[in-house]
Structure 1
Amino acid sequence: MKYLLWDFDNTLAYREGAWSGTLHSILKRNGIHNINLEDIRPFLNIGFPWHSPEIPHILLFNGTIWWEYMNEYFAEIYEKVGINRDQAINYASQVQNEYKNIEKWHLYDDVIPTLQDAIKNNYKNVILSNHIPDLHEIIDQLNIKKYFDGIYTSGKIGHEKPSLKFYDYVINDLKIEKTKCIMIGDNYNADIAGALHAGIQAILVRKSNDKNYKFYSQDFKQILKIVRQISTIEEGGISTATENAVCGN
């Protein structure tokens, strides 16, 4: 395998407070302290583009661009928690910069050593994320851009994982064979099932393995070991029984 396709959020990095924390921080900064994080969080379970991966952005956004569409969504959330329309629009316009606040973004401690190890072993790292169109700005400020040969975000592609169109776009743009890459991510549906449906092998990381997926590890140090095991399996080198034994970390 030549290319390692990495999910970003909750695989390589995480944002403190995520989206609910972003919206809540803006309220506090504007002197509103009677609305709690728990008041906002339930409204974020639906409405993002990745909640409707079967719908291309061109249809979902109906003539608007990513942040225009999302700002209206955020304004509606602010209204639902009691903010008047004019203030809601104002606060929503602040979400983009607040979400990208680099002080709130953190790499997992095991990420850079793993990326460095992958490069030393002649793998190329590529990011595939359901994310904002300006994801590259976060990656630049985290000082990890040098570890990647490509950064792909659904906010620019116009399709969300697990859509086949998302994966096909990346494969065609990189001009590589699907058999030459492995998807690595924490979301079973988007990263694992989506990749497998696209004909790409995948490794589940970080999250608990509720699906009992065979290529799984919570330990990032095991990822390259599993990558090599997948390569060996595809070459017919070991049995299915051995595969299950060595990959069930």
Structure 2
Amino acid sequence: MKYKHLLFDADNTLFDFSQGEIETFKELGHKYNFEVTKSLMEDYHRINKACWKAYEEGTLSQDKLRVLRFENFINYFNFNIDPIEMEKDFTSILSNQSHLIKDTHFVLEQLSKQGYDIQLITNGLVEAQYGRLKATDIEKYFSNIFISGEMGCQKPDVEYFDIVLDSIKAKKDECLVIGDRLESDILGAMKSNLDSVWLNIKNKDLPNEFTPTYVITDLASLLDILK
């Protein structure tokens, strides 16, 4: 086999984060008495994306990110909600979500049977990632779980990938990064000279500055690449 080590992102690569997030916000809306509309979610996503961008660029810590996105969200809508409490509720509810991207179990099972070393590499929140790994029963497939909040660095930093490769004692040409986010997964792979697969489920255009080795539109197609 060309690759020995498969480095999977978590959110919207394996976990259906988008669906889990919607379900989480429905519960938050019920508790805090606001209506969860398409427009509200679009505004939250804009606010949240800006915070995560700052985190990935190293200008905002994850601890500050966790609360700041809800502070900005609450202020934008002029809600009377404690952002610290809202963040705690969000993380707690999200941690129990069990939505997966289509064919996740099948793909991980097949790759495991074929003898691949499967790693999880994620910038997600520690509690939410471990909670959903247990809720979805996919933790068993991973040799190691690398969560940025436990490492002191994050994708797309070269340091993050250096730690991962050093920990698993892998050569770069033996590794394949699989993820949905160009700005963290694919850029991180590019900066670290690793091959990558961009999971492009929504058929987005590929900007010229990103050069994934492979592009797939569904997770099961990864099996074809690895034949």
TM-score (norm 2): 0.81
The DSSP-based 3-state class of the residue aligned with 1:160 is: coil
CA 1:26–1:118 in structure 2 vs 1: closer, same or farther (change >3 Å)?
Answer: same
Describe the superposition over 1:26-49 as per-residue Cα deviations: whole angstroms up to 9, x where unpaired: 13223334x74523423223113x
- Structure-2 residue corresponding to 1:133: 126
Report if aligned partners of 1:3, 1:181 keep a CA contact under 8 Å in 2. yes
- Alpha-carbon distance in structure 2 between the residues aligned to 1:20 and 1:115: 25
Choose 1 or 2 for highest CA Rg.
1
C-alpha separation between the residues in 2 aligned to 1:214 and 1:198? 13
Higher relative contact order (CA 8 A, sep 6+): 2
Q: Deviation string for 1:201-246 (max 9, x for gaps)?
A: 1112233263385512224333233235xxxxxxxxxxxxxxxxxx
User: Corresponding residue for 2:8?
Assistant: 6
The SS at the match of 1:45 is: helix
Please give the TM-score of this superposition, normalised by the length of structure 1: 0.75
Name the CA distance, whole Å, in 1 between partners of 2:143 and 2:130: 12
Q: 2:77 aligned with 1:77, yes or no?
A: no
Aligned letter for 1:119?
A: S
Aligned pairs (5 A) from 1:43-58 = 43-48=47-52, 50-55=53-58
Task: Give the distance between the partners of 2:144 and 2:32, measured in 1 at CA.
Answer: 38
- List gaps (5 residues or longer) in structure 2: none
Q: 1:24 to 1:219 in 2, by over 3 A?
A: closer
SS at structure 1 position matched to 2:178:
strand
Deviation at 1:95, TM superposition (A): 1.9
Tell me, in whole angstroms, the C-alpha distance in 2 between the residues paired with 1:217 and 1:8.
16
Superposed CA RMSD in Å reads: 2.6
Q: How many residues align?
A: 216
- SS in structure 1 at match of 2:99: strand
Structure 1 portions without partners, runs of 5+? 229-249
State how far apart, in whole Å, the 2-side matches of 1:153 and 1:90 are. Answer: 23
Q: What is the percentage of aligned positions where both structures have the same residue?
A: 22
Are the aligned partners of 1:67 and 1:96 in contact in 2 as well (CA < 8 Å)? no
- Report the secondary structure of 2:156's partner residue: coil
